[in-house]
Amino acid sequence: MKEQVKLKRTLGLWSSLAMVIGTVIGSGIFFKQASVLDYSHSTTMALLAWLFGGLLTLASGLTIAEIGAQMPHTGGLYVYMEKIYGKLWGFLSGWMQIIIYGPAMIAALGSYLAILLVAFFGLSSSWQHPLAILSVALITFFNLLSNRYGAAFQILTTIGKFIPIIAIIIFGLFFGDHNALGNVATQASTGATGNFGVAILATLFAYDGWILLANMGGEIKNPQKLLPLAIIWGLVIVLLAYVLVTWGVFSVLSADQIHQFGENTTPHFATIAFGSLGGKLLSIGIIISIAGCLNGKVMSFPRIMYAMAKNNDLPFSKQLSYLNAKTRSPMVSTLTIFAIAVLMILTVNADRLTELCIFTVYCFYVMAFFGLFKLRLIRPQLPRPFSVPLYPWIPIIAIGGAIFVLISEIISDTQGVFVSLIIVVVGIPIYFYKNKFRNDNHLQH
């Protein structure tokens, strides 16, 4: 009898930590300083916004850590939704992530990486699409090999992205001549109509991506123990990095300067701190940071497609659930996600697509957070390798944070919310067609 090919449990604590940190820290921390300051109107409130955003995310991470430790399977949120609410909800959460959200994030990061590479090497803008596709293709190829390689790349890029972060923190803390607290921009923030809530919302998007480690549940050694550890410590490290980088920037540049420089605040900081060479080095750091973030997405989203195909939830499930016998990587799922991402790079605004999906992603987050209460109520006998501290308050904070994002999205982008719901609804007939097809086959046999 032929031995069944399975995913390899090769990811240890360092790979898992790098996965959490690497998929969260992309470009947000380097480009969001000015917008968060403009929304919150003072450096003190901006620092608090980064802190509150981090604490809300940490509450979410702690809540998912309890569920993930009970269900340490490949597929993450898709698995949790199915086990707690049934197959339809599981399918819809997975469908949205593999057809739109995941490929759009990969396409957006690839495009962003290409823009930075074009600027760094002084190329013409006609290189943007080819470089975006080439970047995604190289990282995809890397992830067709054993997951050890993807994990090693994740660790290396995570270490790489901490070089500019540590440099900004040290220079800001020891050589900055501004007080990081109580600094208010005297220029009118005409471009930003917002408040403290909007500032927190901007930081929450910079903290997103931590849940992707859960997609790799079937490849983590001792996931009951390591999954919660990696999510919690990964988010604590990200929170400290974000708050300290912001403190560093605020210590070197005045609020007026930050407002004036906008998205170019951190590059200006690097030039002031380390000269023109510093600006170049920071650019390399940001390129490495985005490459690591992109690698994390390319590594994790095909695992959802693979898990769904393994459950025979998708058209062409037999092909999509194929694992290479030698590398143990879900090759067809990885190449399918790559193909959709390339299509998006060439045809649509992928950045806008990821914004559209934020609403539905957070709808599933809220359901998963409520699911923790449901699990404790209806399946109290289920072993809990990790329990949320300060239960029920931490899950309640997580639910509050997610509902805050949903309400903010409805107010600020009603049209986008409607489009994102349509994307999810399109999955319903596919689910029922696939279910009918499965039942017909079952009856024939």
CB 271 within 8 A of CB 279: yes
Q: Is residue 390 pLDDT above 80, yes or no?
A: yes
What is the DSSP secondary structure assignment for residue 334, as one 8-state letter? H
pLDDT range class, residue 190, cuts 50, 70, 90? very low
Longest dimension (CA), the chain: 77
Q: Say which CATH number the domain at 201 has.
A: 1.20.1740.10
Domain contains 155 = yes
Domain contains 316 = no
pLDDT tens by residue, 100-118 = 889 988 998 998 888 888 8
Beta-carbon contacts of 181 under 8 Å, excluding residues fewer than 6 positions away, are 43, 44, 47, 250
Which range is least confidently modeled, 248-252, 302-306, 353-357? 353-357
Average pLDDT, the chain: 87
Higher pLDDT among residues 165 and 445, named by residue: 165
Q: Is residue 271 pLDDT above 90, yes or no?
A: no
Domain total for the chain? 1
Domain contains 392 = yes
Average pLDDT over residues 322-335: 86
Distance CA(216)–CA(319), nearest Å, equals 20
The winner for highest mean pLDDT among 279-283, 351-355, 423-427 is 423-427
Higher pLDDT among residues 190 and 242, named by residue: 242
Please tell me the predicted confidence (pLDDT) of residue 443: 46
pLDDT range class, residue 198, cuts 50, 70, 90? confident
Distance CA(252)–CA(21), nearest Å, equals 26
Q: Is residue 62 pLDDT above 50, yes or no?
A: yes
Q: Is residue 174 pLDDT above 70, yes or no?
A: yes
Range of the structural domain that residue 410 is part of:
13-100+145-294+357-444
Which range is least confidently modeled, 96-105, 176-185, 436-445? 436-445
Higher pLDDT among residues 67 and 267, named by residue: 67
Domain contains 423 = yes
DSSP 204-257: HHHHTTGGGGGGBGGGBSSHHHHHHHHHHHHHHHHHHHHHHHHHHHHHHS-HHH
Q: For residue 307, what are its two tokens?
A: 């898990």
pLDDT range class, residue 63, cuts 50, 70, 90? very high
Please tell me the predicted confidence (pLDDT) of residue 45: 92
Average pLDDT over residues 242-261: 88
Distance, first Cα to last Cα, the chain: 22
pLDDT range class, residue 191, cuts 50, 70, 90? very low
Q: Is residue 337 pLDDT above 90, yes or no?
A: yes
Domain contains 203 = yes
Please tell me the predicted confidence (pLDDT) of residue 183: 75
CB 178 within 8 A of CB 42: no
Domain contains 107 = no
Q: For residue 315, what are its two tokens?
A: 């058209």
Domain contains 315 = no
pTM: 0.88
pLDDT range class, residue 146, cuts 50, 70, 90? confident
Q: Is residue 188 pLDDT above 50, yes or no?
A: no
Domain contains 79 = yes
Q: Is residue 256 pLDDT above 90, yes or no?
A: no
